[in-house]
Structure 1
């Protein structure tokens, strides 16, 4: 059996039945020199089923940015103030936005996580709100590498103004249609059957997306066509733009390099993953071996890391089954209960101290205290605490429900393999899904 066919089969089998929600669809498209192999499980899933691809959209935004630069409509070194009302951040360049070196935070400062709908956190947060947030944002002075959904949302608006088209029309006409991705699109554009997303044991609503940072939906076969174009760019302006987007721009601390959206691993493999409330995705392009992998899952509880690990194993010709998510051991429930005990005792500073360096740098201690106080101050004494842990390689999520006298509160806790906190969200139940 050819590599592409064997890899697609083994990847879908790796994740088949690995999720706690019934009805989850798994798909893989594997590309080599001879063509593309596609696998979908379960077998009766619609062949034209559309998944939210989350932050993999950023790689398409980057290609469109390079395409408009080739058109002469903009330059990567344009200051954002040429295109947006940016206030004190006018000097940030489009290249810095595209390489996550603008110094802007992951989320806009005017996006209050304590008030958003956890089932649809970007609802109502369109381009106008993003531009407003740009004027309010304080960029890190040294402009270090910092992954920013906010920055790519702004790039989506820049593309609209530079092209005179909506983001939806631009991505459709300049990228999806030329690559024959006819069942893919933004919102109601394109054909295909929209699949339900899953998290926490059941179906969850679709998200309203920050266009540019996310928003594209694709079938497995269509994302395979995109992966093929990234592996073998066509001899067209779009192909040249895809090539430009994948070219390394800056070195990273892990020994890899940052391209426009794509990360380039030390071994040269280009990778990007994505996650939304109900979906996970990953695309990997190995130009050295002449192979590429695209994976989609209609479950959004942090599975993109596992998809990426499985994709790397498959690219190397290895068995991807070690990447299958496994139920975490009881020690993770104990860790989650300790965090909850500290919260209930009012020791939010001690909770913050349990975080990884990345968590502590992105989430100030006062934000943890404010989020906890806002959600719980009028609920009375706490009662029963229930914990449910889910894991994938390199990541464990504990979903905790606390029954207070007047209402219940949900706490989602992310853990690094070391046991340090990687994330903490206090929300009304039911749980939202973790997303990039």
Structure 2
């Protein structure tokens, strides 16, 4: 991926550089490197360092922590798309004898299996993986669950160790090798590795009350590696962000990627600000819906976020464990770029061809007395919108059998059918037994339950 930083205006580049300079100084990180991706292309990268005249390049590796989970989730969904497993499968169908028996693959992907957040002691992130040679060692035997499966989101690092083991079991080889061959190579990500490769940053802890540092151990976490082991660069992660946005024919389809970023479990009580899909965090930041992941391991913090609305993604990596705001910096880089250079919409263009039968379906429709309108979009897609205070809207994708499938809102996954009268004319629309007609509650013969024979009346 070529750096096309001259595509951003000088004022935008300066604002981005200023933001990471402030973040490095105020966060007291030895170094920080960041990048912005626009329309799936790297358009800016920058860095700051504690050493004058020496800042890391976009090719320097940092540990990316839990961003690793996004890669593992892609591997699991590839298995699903190939028909080798179902997301509803209990994990013991493929990986018997773990403390997570009864949890489904989908629950593991979305951190909703109720499993413990961490392994039994000692702290896995700073200790050698050889201390936990078996999957049984990554969860407490007596109380592996903290919540009933499927009830709530409860972030769990051992969960992704199990998913990595699942990949190994189904593929018959180490998950890291599967990742390299099936994902990293097709995407050209040759600087993303399980263990650090030169040039790479060293990880440090920064003292909370003094400007002094302590080197952090660069451990191989063994079975826990799928939870946060990977090392990468902002250049490689820019490729990853582009893939998560647009897919790749040799890796994963855009439909499956869209499935990854659907909230899998309802948010906690209170205002919604964060949720989780299949391997992707979903957050609200400055009025934007972002997806991606944050990451931290001893000595490192990281963030990768994507805004589909703005056509932007951003990455920020730093090498300190001091509670820095590095993951949030990535989200702020998106906001800054969008503020300085808001996305220019595509020009309006008419449809390349018109199906007269579909064109005849457009216009007002009524669900009972609630007015709606139906619009025809590209690729035979239909868009239903409510015109009043009540009613439900959705986009509908055309299917080969002449029906449409709802893509969002209340009708997501539901089938829209065009029902015709005996003479072939359109009688009404049926969406999961909801009848939409061309006039409010009429004609009477197609309305479920019938109508009062006196019709509309003044009272």
Q: Same fold by TM (over 0.5)? A: yes
d(CA) in 2 for partners of 1:46, 1:106: 33
1:232 paired residue among 239, 246, 257: 246
* 1:268 alignment partner, one of 279, 285, 289: 289
Indicate the structure (1 or 2) with the bigger Cα radius of gyration.
2
1:244 has 2:259 as partner? yes
Structure 1 residue 127, shift from structure 2 partner: 5.7
| Cα offset, 1:160, TM superposition | 0.8
Match of 2:210 in 1: none
Deviations 1:128-182 (A, max 9, x none): 1456636544323533321000111111111111111201101211222222111
CA distance in 1, matches of 2:99, 2:301: 35
Tell me if the contact between 1:66 and 1:244 (Cα under 8 Å) persists in the aligned partners.
no
Alignment partner of 2:164 out of 156, 159, 163: 156
Q: Within 1, Cα distance between the matches of 2:257 and 2:238?
A: 15
Within 2, Cα distance between the matches of 1:126 and 1:83? 21
Distance (Å, rounded) in 2 between the aligned partners of 1:248 and 1:187: 32
Q: Tell me, yes or no, if structure 1 residue 106 matches structure 2 residue 117.
A: yes
How far off its partner does 1:78 sit?
Answer: 1.4
- State the distance in 2 between where 1:88 and 1:276 align: 25
What whole-Å deviation, never above 9, does each CA across 1:189-239 have from its counterpart, x for those lacking one? xx5422211113132221323221111100121112112222332344424
- Residue of structure 2 in register with 1:26 after alignment: 32
Is residue 183–residue 218 contact of structure 1 (8 Å, CA) maintained in 2?
Answer: yes
Q: Secondary structure at the match of 1:173?
A: helix
For the residues of structure 1 that align with 2:133 and 2:175, how far apart are their CA atoms? 11
**1:131, 1:16 → 2: CA distance?**
38
Q: 2:235 maps to what in 1?
A: 221
Gap change, CA 1:192 and 1:73, over 3 Å in 2: farther
Match in the other structure for 2:77: 66
Counterparts in 2 of 1:88 and 1:208: CA distance versus 1, 3 Å: closer
1:5 Cα deviation after fit: 4.2
Residue 39 of structure 1 aligns with which residue?
Answer: 46
Q: Of residues 168, 180, 184 in structure 2, which corresponds to 1:172?
A: 180
TM-score (norm 1): 0.64
Query: In 2, Cα distance between the equivalents of 1:120 and 1:70?
Result: 35
Give me the whole-angstrom Cα distance separating, in 2, the residues matched to 1:181 and 1:104.
32
Secondary structure at 1:212's aligned position in 2?
helix
Residues 1:279 and 2:319 aligned together: no
Q: Which moved more, 1:87-96 or 1:196-205?
A: 87-96
- The two structures, once aligned, show a CA RMSD in angstroms of 2.8
More helix, by proportion: 1
* Change beyond 3 A, Cα 1:129–1:257: closer
Distance 1:20 1:315, change over 3 A: closer
Q: Distance in 1 between matches of 2:311 and 2:294?
A: 20
Q: Give the equivalent residue in structure 1 for 2:388.
A: none
Change (3 A) 1:19 1:34: closer
Gaps of at least 5 residues in structure 1 are 321-436
- Structure 1 position 196 matched with structure 2 position 217: no
2:218 to 206, 221, 232: 206
Structure 1 residues 5-37: Cα deviation after superposition (integer angstroms, max 9, x where no partner): 45642443232334546xx22111111127211
Shift of 1:57: 0.5
Partner of 1:311: 330
Counterparts of 1:73 and 1:261, CA distance in 2: 19
Residues 300-340 of structure 1: CA deviation (Å, up to 9, x unaligned)? 2222xx123333332222799xxxxxxxxxxxxxxxxxxxx
Equivalence map 1:342-421=2 (5 Å): none
Give the direction of change, closer, same or farther, for the CA distance of 1:187–1:314 in structure 2 (3 Å limit). Answer: closer
Q: Take 2:133 and 2:85, find their aligned partners in 1: how far apart are those partners?
A: 19
- Structure 2 regions of 5+ residues with no counterpart? 1-6, 207-212, 340-459
Give the aligned partner of residue 63 of structure 2: 52
TM-score, structure 2 normalization:
0.61
In 1, the alpha carbon distance for the partners of 2:138 and 2:317 equals: 33
**Map of 1:259 onto structure 2:** 277
Question: Which residue, 310, 315, 319 being the options, matches 1:298?
Answer: 319
Q: Does 1:91 align with 2:102?
A: yes
Task: Please give the alpha-carbon distance, in whole angstroms, between the structure 1 residues aligned to 2:27 and 2:275.
Answer: 33
Distance, in Å, in 1 between the alignment partners of 2:189 and 2:14 is 24
What SS class does the counterpart of residue 17 from structure 1 fall into?
Answer: helix
Contact 2:203 2:300 in 1 (8 A): yes
